[in-house]
Amino acid sequence: MIATVEQPVGSSYSDFLQMCVDLGFTASEIRHLSEDTRNQIPFPANMGDGLEVADSPIEGKGLFAKKEFPKGTVIAPAAIAAMRTPAGRYTNHCDQPNAYFACTPKGDVLMYANATILPDTEITVNYRQSKEAAVMAHLILNGVY
């Protein structure tokens, strides 16, 4: 259920289940949080170019590259002012991701290519690392950091 095309399904799915335990959530709680529409917004104009939400071999829907994203480049915003974009909603977990989230000084979260991502490739992140970026954004937005 949670995997990449290059990896057997069991590897990333097992890691996803362990990540749930590590973070203190169940898989169904993660799904519920992911599907909550109250904190979702569309990509701002010209900021989701080269991306597409489509059926995923990993889980449900996923975020796919429609153009090449070189390693280290910003792919898209994942969250703006605590509101998730499609990058923050549809990016699936992988134990060997091709992208990561990083928090800006304003508390927004950007998605970066961890490796060169070719067209038609599903973009994945490690949810453990994503949680760290989300916590930092929360602290900045609430004036704690």
How far apart CA 16 and CA 23 sit, in angstroms, is: 10
Taking the model in full, what pTM does it have?
Answer: 0.84
Q: Where are the domains of the chain?
A: 9-141
Please give the CATH number for the structural domain made up of 9-141. Answer: 2.170.270.10
For residue range 32-75, list pLDDT tens digits in order.
888 888 999 999 998 888 999 999 998 889 999 999 999 999 99
Q: Measure the CA–CA gap between 102 and 54, rounded to whole angstroms.
A: 24
Query: What is d(CA 128, CA 135) in angstroms, rounded to the nearest whole number?
Result: 11
In angstroms, the Cα distances linking 10 to 20, 29, 90, 132 are 15, 20, 20, 25
Distance, CA of 105 to CA of 48 (rounded, Å): 21
Q: Confidence class of residue 10 from pLDDT cuts 50, 70 and 90?
A: low
